[in-house]
Structure 1
């Protein structure tokens, strides 16, 4: 079932509403620009509630699959993202200091808010900074050292080929 785009988050929190569904890629334009392609709809489970200090909060989880670029071989790599959502609904930036330390502020200045924007922000934050294929399934694996430093002859050769060795000799 598709999630509603425009919602009244404060009303949903007061009623303790749970939303479960998905957003198609057309509702995630910034994510589409950040990755090569979006492979699955964004599936989410979101619970709106009022916490013990009477703050209106949003808790939930989401999952989505995207294709990004492997930084070793520059080929496409599938990235499965699963993450939690923990936000507190506030009216303005002036109230950010009142947001609990374990929650992100969700500034909703009007009565209605776009749920897809909140979810897209969370997905963008959950994307890895660097994407790689698993070791053994990437054509760029040949550039990874399998042994690590061992103090062998190979290390001496690297030092000998260092162009700054000439400068080190001049310094002496």
Structure 2
């Protein structure tokens, strides 16, 4: 059985000890993600890279319920996020990080709120318009509109009369 993970972790001490955590955050603790259906299963690795930067490697999964934007029926989907973070104390320090690391701010105690970080990553990975697979959606491809939009009947230009008056003069 997996262990509950701590909500905040000191990344510097964890990286010095090269700690790895495997566990979960309980469903009840997930507040900012809509309609979660499972705990957040997560593995965390803390280490120093070649540049002596503290790195947090995150790999997490969560099952949640979304509403299909084609048929407006609920469906269950799994979100999987992976990313590498480097803890920083200020925005200036964050700007000096290499591009392949995301900055994460430490609090006044030198700790990182891992659950908030995971919730942020999950929210960022969600699609703007979630939809079922075509074979599972109640709206068939025949019901979807594709191709050219029909043009409206040509309306006469209200200023066309002025052109004719100008040509007479």
- TM-score norm. by structure 1 comes to 0.81
Structure 2, unaligned runs of 5 or more = 161-169
- Alignment match, 1:86: 84
The structure that is helix-richer by fraction is: 1
1:127 deviation in Å? Answer: 1.1
Take 1:137 and 1:109, find their aligned partners in 2: how far apart are those partners? 45
**Mean Cα deviation higher: 76-85 or 43-52:** 76-85
Aligned residue pair count: 155
Alignment partner, residue 19 of structure 1: 21
- Equivalent residue for 2:41? 43
Distance in 2 separating the partners of 1:170 and 1:4: 70
Question: Which runs of structure 2 are paired with 1:70-149 in the superposition (5 Å)?
Answer: 70-110=68-108, 111-141=110-140, 142-145=142-145, 149=147
- Match of residue 166, structure 1, among 148, 154, 160: 154
Runs of 4+ in 1 over 6 A off after TM superposition: none
CA–CA separation in structure 1 for the residues paired with 2:28 and 2:92: 33
Give the number of the structure whose alpha-carbon radius of gyration is greater. 2
Distance (whole Å) between structure 1 residues aligned to residue 113 and residue 13 of structure 2: 14
Structure 1 residue 170: Cα displacement: 3.5
